[in-house]
Amino acid sequence: MKKVVITETLDQTCADWLGERCEVVWHQHDAPGLDAQLADADALVVRTYTEVNDALLDQAPNVKVIGRAGVGLDNFDLPACEKRGVRVVYTPDANTQAVVEYVFGLILDHYRPRTALTPGTASQQFHALRKTEVGIELADLTLGILGMGRIGKRIATVAHAMGINVLGCDVIDEATLRKQLPQVPFSFVDHAALYAGSDIVTVHTDGRPRNKQLLNGQAFAHFKGNALLINAARGMLIDHAALLDWLKQHPKATAILDVHDPEPPATDHPLYGCDNAILLPHLASRTDTALRNMSWVVRDVAAVLEGSEPTYAAV
């Protein structure tokens, strides 16, 4: 049987399915002895924290396919894999719904405050809450979507259904995006116009090197002073020193960061002490369904090992 090494967590149902077809070995990516397991491995299944680079590939001379149980491929050196003839398969649409729901949950939490009643709540406190916890309707706001890929387009669709004005920015040309989103009358704008015109900016760009610290001091200079920034994409997209400066200058602004660079963020991360910054532990894709969808990358891993063409291949 072909040997497959799994280096991070994987849904057990999917792992069992793979185990019926291959020899499955679990070995944590940062545990000693991984090199010995890789020496005779035919395939590898990873998630976020296994760095697939020349150093790892040197230890796995027989590997034919590596499955990424997830969407982004930031931890992969794709040219190195291609040079060695190693197929890379992944699950590009596995967590779209989960991330979209999460982003709108964060938006609603921010604009629709609500405090649960406790036993014995007095009439005075009850009516005080009704006076102070007055929210803002999302239909009165403009949502800027930076990155109109699978997740960005789904967010645009949901936002439009809720009556929210939508601005979009992407490297994809406007005509192509409009064909992909015929039902959403969004405004296609450049970066500066998106930042300046949005009450909410949600980030969904990829991790290509040129996007590193895409949101920097120059970008934040265009933001509204009471804007809400949400990053559930990649931590490297934001210059956190510049973000901290902007938040200090604009106490009515808020940044919600679900992703970080590195992860976890350092215990002395300066944004921990910032009242209008909220740091979350990378939860956007953490639903049972999304995690299982990502783990089903094993189907494409098995397909390659069996000599078939995978459904979702990056290399």
- 41 Cα distance to chain centroid: 29
Give the pair of three-digit tokens for residue 29: 């990516």
CA distance 138 to 164: 6
Residue 169, SS3 per DSSP: strand
Which residue in the list 84, 282, 286, 292 is annotated as catalytic?
A: 282
Active site residue 282: yes
Distance (Å, whole) CA 37 – CA 46? 14
Residue 68 catalytic? no
Phi-psi label, residue 277: left if phi above 0, alpha if psi -120 to 50, beta otherwise: beta
**Hey, is 278 helix, strand or coil?**
strand
| List 82, 133, 137, 263, catalytic entry | 263
Catalytic residue among 29, 47, 234, 299: 234
The closest of 48, 92, 35 to 74, measured between CA atoms, is 48
250 is catalytic: no
Catalytic residues: 234, 263, 282
